[in-house]
Amino acid sequence: MTGDSAVEAPPAPLSADPEVESFGTRVWENIKGGNLGSWPVIIGLIGIVVVFSLTTENFFTAVNFNNIITQMTGTTMLAFGVVFVLLLGEIDLSIAYVSAVAGVVAAELQLPDSGHTLPGIWPIVVALLAVAVIGLVQGSFVALIGVPSFVVTLAGLLIWQGYVQKQLGAAGPIIIQSRWINYTAQYFFSKEAGWLMAALISALYVGGIVGGIVQRRRHRIPLRDPALIVLKMVGVPALAFGVVAICNHDRGVPLAGVLIVVFLVFWTYIAKRTTFGRHVYAVGGNAEAARRAGISVARIRIIVFMISSFMAGVGGIVLAARLSSVAPDQGGGTLLLDAISAAVIGGTSLFGGRGEVRSAVLGAAVIATIANGLFIHQFSNGVIFITTGCILLFAVTLDTLARRRQAKTGR
Amino acid sequence: MPESPTLELRDITKSFGSVQALSDVDFEVRSGEVMALVGDNGAGKSTLIKTVAGIHAADHGEILFDGQPVHISSPKDAAKLGIEVVYQDLALCDNLDVVQNMYLGREAHDALQRLQEAVMEQKTSETLRSLRVTTIRSIRQSVATLSGGQRQSVAVARAVMWNSKVVILDEPTAALGVAQTEQVLTLVKRLAEQGLGVVLISHNLHDIFEVADRITVLRLGRNAGLYEREKTNQQEVVHAITAGAPTKVAGITTAETGAPA
């Protein structure tokens, strides 16, 4: 057993003298512990971009960059919710049609002269509240009664698909004229606003890191890996300004892209910096241990299913806005599988407890980039599906191998 | 040092349906001592511990904590008194790191539910250092990467971090190799040195004779002996485990009316 040798090793002082752990060793430790992190998908994404850039002329352009962002936004929103559900080790199959419900509700409520028209942003607010309630109901079946989430949300898939078809089947598509809704997929910020946002993000990020350092200093805890901290403080602002620079070559920063960043930051914060997020990881890792530690497992599960439905609703609004309408086939096609694939390809484990919010963005970017690039190559949808399927299989295999490795390293 | 026991159980009786799991069992542990609880399978060790831990209530009997009668009806009650149980399966989340496991369910946070990582990391490393758990290289490594002995150490350290007064360890060395067992037994001794009352449940008499101050033997749900380690030997204890007659600690005598043996 590997364990005995670990004990016989000379006892290293436990952060008594600031033993600085390098970035490299930590990544290696994580891989050994079955946690591959985001590395495979980042490397893969870079590879995909390089291949398409070299093989077609129209791929590596500012216009196409903005296209990919707006194409991936809907899926990304759904995938944010999927990450939380997967972290619990559960599944939510209803999200695609829940997103359609949000689209239909918002579209109905913005219809002029319908007798139930709501002004401004209210159709969106009501639609999101409605789908949050859907999450509450579905989550309660899972958490309180113990019905497997697969079945509850499969039923949800049918029910909400039925609802959308019943609403739109006879009347046909609803055209959306509300700017509040349509702008989520169609608005582009001015160049100045773009630079301002990049500056704001950089300032907040660097400020946050400095705040963390001050905290650690106050508690006399050694800083881990100063090199990585510097890299982050330079890298994230550089990335922010770089993205804005590319977007500004075209129409400017799309509101859809800003939505991705806002929700990425928000959900990462919730997952990593709050007690709720910690408890989600705990329940996904070992529900019994979490229960014994006094965590209300049912409460966590219900809230996570509400997050899943809520983010599906946000995605539904964006998807409706892209076409300025909702149709009876809203929420159909590959939306569900794309959203789940995005989270998994991004590195979130299907087995619960391991994953990051950012995997939603990374995975959705991979899927959107492949679809976009193959489309430019004039491949058919069939080829796109086959390619995405192969990547999904690869990602899950990687996850499974990592997990087996973890089982071997552990104890 | 107060001579009265920190935790004292008197006449604990518990039955599940027609099965009499415990009959009039007495048990005590003082602060600063390691009290071993031994007995064959089905002797009632786990049932007794679950009574203390608040998993299930006794049908009859009394629990005194620091001399005061108390009611323990849930694990939270036990924790509030300062009684912590480390179960055999440790109840650790493999996907979380050492600090996160130490604070599981009791995370340090501010008014906005924001985690205070620096506070938790500092306290964790202090606790581990005070217990001289030094083989863990980084407290930010996930528990999945730790050895069995290290995992046990984390579970024990978690139990004692919360100003607990009594720590109950359920078979802490059952799954460990020789070197790791030694590591955990050293830790057990250290807990007692720090003034905690330690209850050690074990099948392994060698371990018990190495660390325990006193030994309580249960057999078929009854007291079958209370020994001081220095005045007994393994044979005597083995005899009590396998063939011991019901005994009662001096002082309390109850009419033993025809309970099935």
d(CA B94, CA B101): 9
Q: If 0-12 CB within 10 Å is exposed, 13-18 middle and 19+ buried, where does residue A153 land?
A: buried
The CATH number of residue B220's host domain is: 3.40.50.300
d(CA A336, CA A95): 7
Q: Categorize the per-residue pLDDT at A34 as very low, low, confident or very high, splitting at 50, 70 and 90.
A: low
Residue B250 covered by a domain = no
- How many A×B Cβ pairs under 8 Å? 152
Q: At what angle do helices A381-409 and A358-376 cross, to 10 degrees?
A: 150
Spell out which residues of chain B touch residue A214, defining contact as CB-CB under 8 Å.
none
Which residue in B137, B143, B181, B186 has the most chain A C-beta atoms within 10 A of its own C-beta, making it the best mutation to test that interface?
Answer: B137
Percent of chain B having pLDDT more than 90?
Answer: 37
In Å, how far is B102's CA from the nearest CA of chain A? 10
Q: In the structure, what pLDDT confidence band is assigned to residue B2 with cuts at 50, 70 and 90?
A: very low
Q: Is the pLDDT at A3 greater than 80, yes or no?
A: no
pLDDT of amino acid A221:
81
Which helix or strand (DSSP H or E) is residue A382 part of?
A: helix A381-409
Looking at residue A115, what is its pLDDT? 81
| Segment A155-167 mean pLDDT | 94
CB B197 within 8 A of CB B33: yes
Rounded to an integer, what distance in angstroms lies between the CA atom of residue B150 and that of residue B118? 22
Q: Under a CB-based contact definition with an 8 Å cutoff, are residues A254 and A66 in contact?
A: yes
- pLDDT tier at A274, thresholds 50, 70, 90: very high
Confidence (pLDDT) at B91: 86
Any chain B CB within 8 A of the CB of A17? no
C-alpha angle A345-A77-A148 in degrees, rounded to nearest 5: 70
User: How high is the pLDDT of residue A172?
Assistant: 86
Separation between Cα atoms, residue A367 and residue A344, nearest integer Å:
11
CB neighbour list of residue B165: distance below 8 Å, 6 or more residues apart: B6, B7, B31, B66, B81, B82, B83, B196, B197
Residue A259 predicted with pLDDT over 90: yes
pLDDT of amino acid A294: 84
DSSP A38: T
Residue B198 reports pLDDT greater than 90 = yes
Q: Distance (Å, rounded) from C-alpha A256 to C-alpha A253?
A: 8
Q: Give residue B218's pLDDT band: very low, low, confident or very high (50, 70, 90).
A: very high
Identify the pLDDT of residue A220. 81
CB contact under 8 Å between A33 and B141, yes or no, is: yes
Q: How far is CA B51 from CA B13, B29, B39, B249, in A?
A: 10, 15, 17, 20
Of A2-16, B186-200, B235-249, the poorest mean pLDDT is in A2-16
Question: Which site among B95, B116, B127, B152 would you substitute to test the A interface, given the most A Cβ atoms closer than 10 Å to its Cβ?
Answer: B95
Instruction: Check if A10 contacts B (Cβ < 8 Å).
Output: no
| C-alpha–C-alpha distance, residues A1 and A5, integer Å | 8
State the distance between the two ends of chain B, measured CA to CA, in whole angstroms: 39
Long-range pairs for A125-128 at CB < 8 Å and ≥24 separation? A127/A101, A127/A102, A127/A103, A127/A313, A127/A316, A127/A317, A128/A102, A128/A310, A128/A313, A128/A314, A128/A317
Q: How far is CA A337 from the centre of its chain?
A: 14
Shortest distance between the Cα of B196 and any Cα of chain A, in A, equals 21
Chain A stretch 183-202, residues whose beta carbon is closer than 8 A to a beta carbon of chain B = none
Question: Quick check: B109 and B93 in contact, CB under 8 A?
Answer: no
- B12-47 residue pLDDT tens: 999 998 888 999 999 999 999 999 999 988 888 989
Is the pLDDT at A101 greater than 90, yes or no?
A: yes
Half-sphere exposure of residue B56: CA atoms within 13 angstroms, side-chain side: 13
- The residue of A15, A29, A280 whose CB has the most chain B CBs within 10 angstroms, and thus the best one to mutate to test that interface, is A15
- Looking at the domain assignment, is residue B205 inside a domain? yes
Is residue B91 in some structural domain? yes
Say if residues A205 and B105 touch (Cβ distance below 8 Å). Answer: no
Which of A278-292, A395-409, B215-229 shows the lowest mean pLDDT across its residues?
Answer: A395-409
Backbone angles phi, psi at B247, to 5 degrees: -125, 165
Percent of chain A with pLDDT over 90: 69
Tell me phi and psi for residue A120, to 5 degrees: 55, -130
Q: Does residue B199 belong to any structural domain of this protein?
A: yes
Residue length of chain A: 411
Round the average pLDDT of chain B to a whole number and report it: 86
Pairing of strands B214-219, B34-38: parallel
| Confidence band for B57, pLDDT divided at 50, 70 and 90 | confident
The pLDDT value recorded for residue B179 is: 84
Residue A406 has what pLDDT? 66
Domain architecture of chain A: domains with CATH? 2-8+20-187+254-409 (1.10.3470)
**What is the rounded CA–CA span in Å between residue A252 and residue A130?**
33
Q: Which residue of A has its CA nearest to B100?
A: A278
Closest by Cβ to A14, choosing from B107, B115, B129:
B129
Residues of A in contact with B106 (CB under 8 A): 293-294
Residues of B in contact with A219 (CB under 8 A): 118-119, 121-122
Q: Which of residues 71-130 of A touch B (CB under 8 A)?
A: none
| % of chain B residues with pLDDT over 70 | 93
Q: Which of A140, A133, A68 is nearest to A102 (CA)?
A: A133
Contact across the interface for A14 and B150, Cβ inside 8 Å: no
Mean pLDDT of chain A: 88
Give the range of the structural domain holding residue B101, as residue numbers without chain letter: 7-243
- Confidence band of A19 (pLDDT split at 50, 70, 90): very low
- pLDDT for A7 equals 37
Tally the domains of chain B: 1
Q: Which two tokens stand for residue B144?
A: 């999945």
Of A35, A282, A410, the CB nearest to B104: A282
Q: What element of type H or E holds B114?
A: none
Buried/exposed code over B65-97 (b: 16+ C-beta within 10 A; e: otherwise)? beeeeeebeebeebbebbbbbbbeebbbbbbbb
Rounded-to-integer distance, Cα B83 and Cα B165, Å = 6
CB contact under 8 A, B145 and A410: yes
pLDDT band per the 50, 70, 90 thresholds, residue A321:
very high
Give the closest-approach CA distance of A14 to chain B in angstroms.
Answer: 6
Check whether A30 has a pLDDT greater than 80. Answer: no
* Least confident among A82-91, A171-180, A213-222, B1-10: B1-10
Q: Do B93 and A406 touch (CB under 8 A)?
A: no
**pLDDT band at residue A409 using 50, 70 and 90 as cut-offs:** low
Interface-testing mutation among A281, A286, A297, A351, with chain B (most B C-beta atoms within 10 A): A286
In a domain, B259, yes or no: no
Residue B107 included in any domain: yes
- What pLDDT, on the 0 to 100 scale, is given for residue A33? 59
- B95, B121, B147 member nearest A411 (Cβ): B147
Is there a contact between A107 and A316 (Cβ–Cβ < 8 Å)?
Answer: no
Per the CB < 8 A criterion, the answer to whether B241 and B11 are in contact is: no
Shortest CA distance from A28: residue in chain B:
B141
What are the φ/ψ torsions at residue B251 (nearest 5 degrees)?
A: 110, -50
- The DSSP annotation for B7-32 comes to EEEEEEEEEETTEEEEEEEEEEE-TT
Angle at Cα A90 formed by Cα A86 and Cα A95, nearest 5°? 80
Q: Which of A119-123, A159-163, A383-387 holds the top average pLDDT?
A: A159-163
Q: Is residue B239 included in any domain, yes or no?
A: yes
In a domain, B1, yes or no: no
* Cβ within 8 Å of B, A 335-354: 353-354
Cβ-Cβ contacts under 8 Å for A2 (sequence gap 6 or more):
A409, B147
Please name the helix (run of DSSP H) or strand (run of DSSP E) that holds residue B163, with its range, or none. Answer: none
pLDDT greater than 80 at residue A174: yes
- Please name the residue of chain A whose CA is at the shortest distance from the CA of residue B54: A292
Minimum Cα–Cα distance from A13: chain B residue: B134
Selection from B117, B126, B193, B188 nearest residue B155 by Cα? B188
Q: What is the pLDDT averaged over residues B179-200? A: 90
3-state secondary structure of B96: coil
How far apart CA B259 and CA A34 sit, in angstroms, is: 54
Query: Is the per-residue pLDDT at B177 higher than 70?
Result: yes
Q: Tell which wins on pLDDT, B209 or A5.
A: B209
Cβ atoms < 10 Å from Cβ of A358: 21
Averaged pLDDT for residues A298-314: 97
Instruction: Report how far residue A136's alpha carbon sits from residue A302's, in angstroms, rounded to the nearest whole number.
Output: 6
Secondary structure letter of residue A296 according to DSSP: -
Polymer length in residues for chain B:
261
Instruction: Residue window 262-291, chain A: list those with CB within 8 Å of chain B.
Output: 273-276, 278-279, 281-282, 284-286, 288-290
Interface contact A293-B105, CB threshold 8 A:
yes
Chain-chain contact of B147 with A294 (C-beta, under 8 angstroms): no
Is A1 an 8 Å CB contact of chain B?
Answer: yes
Do residue A7 and residue B147 have CB atoms under 8 angstroms apart? yes
